[in-house]
């Protein structure tokens, strides 16, 4: 039984960096700065136990910085710190805070969609020039592509709540950005925001729900998978995509198909 718990915990650690937990209520913040969104977390002895997609797993307390509880779920404290503050430098303690702005100003902002990137991040920007990037534990197996997330990214906006944002860099240049949402209402809010920014789609499919746009700088796809209740907004730099395809002209599958199958795999 002990071996099984460790195996599941390692699997969750690998998967949790990019797959949002269903109906998550608590957040486990690791000492590496990574965050695991889980359905419920609690301490028992030298272990931190949690449920992830209905499965029970555990991590050693030595790996965990703190647990951020959903105070609306029960009467637990909002956050419980594990370990000793002296174990890390003061400059690192800012990782304990969530990505939400205490003033609430971020929640008043509109999701910053643009025709040439996302917000202030423009296509082709170097990964080394983007603050706060953390390479994802599960590496991309597409040649020359590395995927990152930014733990400090705001996920709550006035018009939509995001589950995660994934940045893909090809040869150290920003190539694609993927925004994930969960639930039909969130997907509809995201779709309304995309329509407001890019206008009517150039092509639409009803089943599965999929909209496509194309601008001189960016290819855009918005998709909703009802079975998983996952919404995806995927944006790709046209210039870099031409270069990528020329360099891998014999590739049998596109990066988009690979990424989507990886996200929805059981």
Indicate if 66 and 132 belong to the same structural domain.
no
CATH at 59: 2.30.30.100
Question: Final residue of a domain: which of 50, 72, 94?
Answer: 72
165 close to 178: Cβ distance less than 8 angstroms: yes
> Residue 31 sits in which domain range?
2-72
Structure tokens at 264: 């929805």
Q: Report helix, strand or coil for 62.
A: helix
This prediction has a pTM of: 0.57
Indicate if 51 and 119 belong to the same structural domain.
no
Q: Report helix, strand or coil for 160.
A: coil
Task: Count the Cβ atoms, other than its own, within 10 Å of residue 70.
Answer: 15
Write out pLDDT tens, residues 61-115: 888 877 887 655 544 555 555 544 333 333 333 223 223 343 445 557 899 999 8
Phi/psi of residue 85, nearest 5 degrees = -60, -25
Write out pLDDT tens, residues 158-187: 889 998 899 999 999 999 999 999 899 999
Phi/psi of residue 138, nearest 5 degrees = -85, 110
Distance, in Å, from the CA atom of 102 to the CA atom of 106, rounded to the nearest integer, reads 9
Lowest mean pLDDT among 24-33, 140-149, 191-200, 207-216: 24-33
pLDDT band at 54 (very low <50, low <70, confident <90, very high): low
Tell me whether residue 128 is in a domain.
yes
H or E element that contains 173:
strand 173-182
52 close to 21: Cβ distance less than 8 angstroms: yes
Sequence-distant (6+) residues with CB within 8 A of 189 are: 159, 160, 161, 181
Tell me whether residue 191 is in a domain.
yes
Indicate if 113 and 232 belong to the same structural domain.
yes
């Amino acid at each position: 039984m002990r071996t099984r718990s460790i195996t599941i915990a390692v699997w969750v650690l690998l998967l949790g960096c990019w797959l949002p937990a269903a109906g998550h209520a608590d957040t486990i913040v690791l000492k590496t700065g990574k965050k695991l969104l889980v359905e419920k977390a609690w301490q028992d002895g030298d272990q931190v136990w949690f449920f992830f997609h209905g499965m029970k797993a555990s991590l050693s307390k030595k790996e965990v910085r703190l647990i951020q509880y959903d105070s609306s779920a029960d009467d637990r404290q909002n956050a419980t710190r594990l370990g000793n503050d002296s174990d890390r430098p003061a400059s690192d303690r800012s990782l304990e805070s969530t990505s939400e702005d205490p003033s609430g100003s971020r929640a008043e902002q509109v999701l910053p969609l643009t025709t040439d990137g996302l917000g202030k991040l423009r296509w082709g920007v170097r990964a080394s020039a983007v603050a706060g990037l953390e390479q994802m534990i599960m590496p991309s197996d597409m040649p020359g592509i590395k995927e990152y997330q930014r733990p400090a990214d705001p996920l709550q906006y006035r018009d939509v709540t995001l589950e995660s944002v994934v940045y893909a860099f090809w040869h150290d240049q920003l190539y694609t950005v993927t925004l994930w949402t969960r639930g039909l209402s969130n997907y509809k809010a995201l779709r309304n925001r995309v329509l407001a920014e890019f206008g009517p789609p150039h092509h639409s499919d009803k089943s599965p729900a999929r909209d496509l746009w194309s601008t001189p700088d960016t290819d855009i796809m918005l998709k909703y998978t009802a079975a998983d209740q996952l919404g995806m907004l995927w944006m790709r730099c046209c210039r870099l995509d031409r270069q990528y395809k020329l360099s891998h002209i014999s590739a049998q599958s596109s990066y988009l198909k690979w990424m989507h199958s990886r996200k929805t795999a059981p």
